[in-house]
Amino acid sequence: MTPQPPLHACRLYDDGDCETFGDPGLLFPWWSVTKTAIAICALRLAEQGRLDLDAPLPGQPFTLHQLLTHRAGLPDYGSLPSYHAAVRADETPWPCDVLVEAVLAQGQLFAPGQGWRYSNLGYLMARERIEAVTGRGLGELVAALIAAPLGLASVALAQTRAQFAQTARPAARRYHPGWVYHGCLIGTAPDAARMMQALFAGRLLRTESLSRMRKTHPLGGALPGRPWTEHGYATGLMSGRAGAAGRAIGHSGAGPFSVNAVYHFPDLPRPVTVACFTDGGDEGVAEHAAVRLALSG
């Protein structure tokens, strides 16, 4: 039998009870869970009247909301062999304009709003938009709008190799977080669960903003090797159903050496938010672990 990778997790109930598995103080790359934080920041700024989610970006045919829901028609840098080769070689990240030019050379995939395709480039553009409007970096915005109000002391935007080397994965010492162009937060499993639980408890967004964030574009049914029986995408949120666990709303993340899954399960008799972090490159491993912990509570 293949040994299971070590699991570090947090199970946080809506009534405040919290259980941890593994060392609760270890830091991990949050990878694409960062997209949820970017979307929260955008919606908070829209509530303040500083952003119009539905206005086309300057000089572009798509809106910020279309970027945040992967409906802008943009390709992704994950399809570039040269990108993966550079990451494997532990090169210094390319300048943003070089990356954007290489990705856009693949061409527009569909007219904005007329399809769906996961795009990290879209989230880079969303990050750039909120930074331009506020004059503040993503790390500052996450700290001010999410981490400080919730007391998430471990959460930070990793921008240097030294910061990434603080995480629990030895392979992080050979990875520059700048390769995650929309940004990569680092933090503990409990703080990841606290952020997601606070979102759905209404502690970060107004009711109407949260309702908009949760509106889901359906994408299909079961996915091989993953626990989804229905899946879709909302605004910075993966959203669907996971069999007996019912609705699962949150985000998964994957990098070259670790994966995570941070999900809220509102349909269980005792609603729970679960954050799982483990080794490898298969998001399904972390997602299955999150579902098991949700059901076994």
CA–CA distance, 48 with 53 (Å, rounded to integer): 12
How many other β-carbons are positioned within 10 Å of the β-carbon of residue 113?
15
CA–CA distance, 289 with 286 (Å, rounded to integer): 5
* 278: confidence class by pLDDT, cuts 50, 70, 90: very high
Q: Are 154 and 163 in contact (CB under 8 A)?
A: no
What is the tens place of the pLDDT at every residue in 60-82? 999 999 999 999 999 999 999 99
What residues does 20 pair with on adjacent strands?
10
Average pLDDT of the residues of the chain: 96
Identity of the amino acid at 132: A
* 45 within domain boundaries: yes
Q: For residue 141, what pLDDT is reported? A: 98
* 99 within domain boundaries: yes
* 138 within domain boundaries: yes
- Number of structural domains found in the chain: 1
| pLDDT of 286 higher than 80 | yes
* 2 within domain boundaries: no
Q: Cβ neighbours of residue 205 under 8 Å, at least 6 residues apart?
A: 40, 43, 44, 47, 199, 213
What is the tens place of the pLDDT at every residue in 238-259? 999 999 999 999 999 999 999 9
CATH number at residue 178: 3.40.710.10
Q: Are 224 and 273 in contact (CB under 8 A)?
A: no
Q: Identify the domain containing residue 110 by its residue range.
A: 7-296
Q: For residue 2, what pLDDT is reported? A: 47
CA-nearest of 240, 118, 253, 238 to 187 is 253
* 167: confidence class by pLDDT, cuts 50, 70, 90: very high
Q: For residue 170, what pLDDT is reported? A: 84
* 245 within domain boundaries: yes
Q: For residue 132, what pLDDT is reported? A: 98
* 6: confidence class by pLDDT, cuts 50, 70, 90: confident
CA–CA distance, 190 with 267 (Å, rounded to integer): 21
* 49: confidence class by pLDDT, cuts 50, 70, 90: very high
Q: For residue 4, what pLDDT is reported? A: 64
What is the tens place of the pLDDT at every residue in 83-114? 999 999 999 999 999 999 999 999 999 999 99
What is the tens place of the pLDDT at every residue in 194-220? 999 999 999 999 999 999 999 999 999
> Is the whole-model pTM more than 0.95?
yes
3-state secondary structure 102-154: HHHCCCCCCCCCCCCCCCHHHHHHHHHHHHHHHCCCHHHHHHHHHHHHHCCCC
* 207 within domain boundaries: yes
* 203 within domain boundaries: yes
Lowest-confidence region among 4-18, 52-66, 111-125: 4-18
CA-nearest of 235, 277, 293, 285 to 30 is 277
CA–CA distance, 175 with 85 (Å, rounded to integer): 13
Q: For residue 184, what pLDDT is reported? A: 98
CA geometry: angle 284, 264, 260, nearest 5 deg: 35
* 1 within domain boundaries: no
Q: Are 161 and 176 in contact (CB under 8 A)?
A: yes
| pLDDT of 20 higher than 60 | yes
* 169: confidence class by pLDDT, cuts 50, 70, 90: confident
Residue with tokens 């790390």: 139
